[in-house]
Structure 1
Amino acid sequence: MDDFKDYLSKISDEDQRARTTKVLNWVHSEFPQLKTRIAWNQPMFTDHDTFIIGFSTSKKHLAVAPEEITITKFSDQIKEAGYAHTKGLIQIPWEKDVDFELLKDIIQFNIDEKIDATSFWRK
């Protein structure tokens, strides 16, 4: 998790920094086989050099980026959790709880789907 120290230190809002840290630590704890890195100025988790999930912050939400195909698959559950999404991002408002079960399902889906992937992004 040392990879994320600089990123986290730049989040000025203490509550947002604490929440982001909690989510990143949770991912690391639940999926210890995933590697951590900063790319495109955001914390990411990878498996055998393929992208699994990335995170970023904005004034209004924690953004979760699992790739478009994953968002499409989980669109209904994302909306049921009370989150908005675009093609590339799930937006978890700071005032809403993080649905860790949904996050776990999303990450596991990407791990399973990309088990034989040989590129960073899906093709």
Structure 2
Amino acid sequence: MEVFAAFLAHIDNPQHRGRTEEVLTWVTKKFPDLVPKVAWNQPMFTDHDTFIIGFSVSKQHLAVAPERAGINHFSDDIVKAGHDHTKELVRIKWNSPVDFTLLEKMIEFNRMDKVDCSTFWRK
């Protein structure tokens, strides 16, 4: 979690910071083989130098970015979990619970789908 310390320190709202830290810690513990890093001022996790999942914060929500393929694959599940999404990210409102089961599925999907991917982003 040291890699995310500076990012977390810049989140002014203590509740938002705590939620973000909770999610990043969960990913780190659940998937210890993923590489945590900050790029483009966003915390993310990679596997064999390919993007798996990223996060960002806004005033209204924590954004989860599993790439477009992850959004497309889990669109119905995202809506069922009570979140809205764009083509590239899921918005988890600060007052909504995090669906860790769905988050786990998105990460596992990207790991399996990108097992032979040799680029950072899907092409």
- Is 1:8 the equivalent of 2:21? no
Q: Which aligned runs of 4 or more in structure 1 are off by greater than 2 angstroms?
A: none
Q: Which residue of structure 2 aligns with residue 98 of structure 1?
A: 98
Please give the TM-score of this superposition, normalised by the length of structure 2.
0.99
Unaligned runs of 5+ in 2: none
Please give the TM-score of this superposition, normalised by the length of structure 1.
0.99
Q: Which residue of structure 2 aligns with residue 32 of structure 1?
A: 32
Identity between Structure 1 and Structure 2 (%): 55
Q: Matches of 2:112 and 2:26 in 1, distance apart?
A: 19
- Is 1:64 the equivalent of 2:25? no
Over the aligned positions, Cα root-mean-square deviation in angstroms equals: 0.4
Cα offset, 1:51, TM superposition: 0.1
2:31 partner letter: F
Q: Matches of 1:44 and 1:70 in 2, distance apart?
A: 15
Q: Within 5 Å, give how 1:40-119 maps onto structure 2.
A: 40-119=40-119
2:39 partner letter: A
